[in-house]
Amino acid sequence: MTIYTSDKLRNVVLLGHGGAGKTSLVEAMLFDTGKVNRLGRVDDGTSVSDWDDEERRRNMSINLSLIPCEWQNHKLNMLDTPGYMDFVGEMVSAIRVADSAIVVLDSVGGVEVGTEQVWHYANEQQLPRVAFVNKMERENVDYGSVLAQISEKLGVLAVPVHLPIGSQAYFQGVVDLVAQKAYMGEKGAEGPVPDDMVDDVEEARMVLVEAAAEGEDELMEKYFEEESLSDAEVVRGLKTRIAQGDLVPVFCGSASMNIGVTALMQAIVRYLPN
């Protein structure tokens, strides 16, 4: 059995409104790390996290589940919580033992009532967190609107780290603004930024770098002098602001299509505390 030192461990709770796709996201992580050989579905009662007979009958999470994932010499202990407030005790219990959180949002629903409630509980425990906008393949997706809702309704600066490639039925992958690389399809194949997205990526990266620079005085001074930061410095600045709780980086993808999941696991290792 592999022994992990504390710096290689991440205890992360998944929070969100019911139906946002938390369980599907955990399932995709298991599939991506090779722990399962097929992608289970909540609606089919085949997901690992929803193990209880009643959960499978209802096609929804009722209990807190601990799902360990091993990825790139790290162990990610994912705490999958029910999204419906009838089972709020399970969610509160998970928040109390987690070191950080991923708040999962529906790409169409955006910030819903349940999102605001779990955000409140996470605030009480001062949990560092990132946001993941799920189901990017749905009709009527508006990524920019969800970003605005996070800032307006949750009272925190929401800065995208991912931009979607394609939209709705044509959603194909994500661009990581830090690495300035595209990750395509369910295998997360790495490639260059699509030509038609170069300007949008440059503009969004500038916003991201400015936000990271505000994390530390030293980074701000360098940014004023050189108008740029290295990738490592961007990560450092974002990590500082996440810990302070005044910024939430936003990622996107589709758990059911296993798109953006590999990039999200990279974000867990990069940005969330151990």
Q: What per-residue confidence (pLDDT) applies to 49? A: 60
Which tokens belong to 262?
Answer: 């590999």
CA dihedral 54, 89, 106, 79 (to 10 degrees): -80
Question: Distance (Å, rounded) from C-alpha 139 to C-alpha 142?
Answer: 9
Give the total residue count for the chain: 274
CA dihedral 213, 7, 66, 115 (to 10 degrees): -10
**Which residue blocks in 193-271 are alpha helix, DSSP H?**
198-213, 217-226, 231-244, 261-271
Contacts within 8 Å (CB) and 24+ apart, 216-222: 216/240
Run means of pLDDT, 10 residues per run, the chain, 274 residues: 87 94 90 73 60 56 78 92 73 92 96 96 95 96 96 96 95 96 90 96 97 95 92 96 95 94 92 86
Q: DSSP 3-state assignment of 205?
A: helix
Q: What per-residue confidence (pLDDT) applies to 67? A: 87
Q: What per-residue confidence (pLDDT) applies to 46? A: 61
Q: What per-residue confidence (pLDDT) applies to 83? A: 60
Q: What per-residue confidence (pLDDT) applies to 65? A: 81
Which tokens belong to 122?
Answer: 């996470």
- Tell me the residue ranges of DSSP E strands in the chain: 9-16, 65-71, 74-80, 100-106, 129-134, 157-160, 162-165, 173-176, 181-184, 189-191, 247-252
Q: What per-residue confidence (pLDDT) applies to 186? A: 86
Q: What per-residue confidence (pLDDT) applies to 163? A: 97
Question: Distance (Å, rounded) from C-alpha 274 to C-alpha 272?
Answer: 7
Q: What per-residue confidence (pLDDT) applies to 104? A: 97
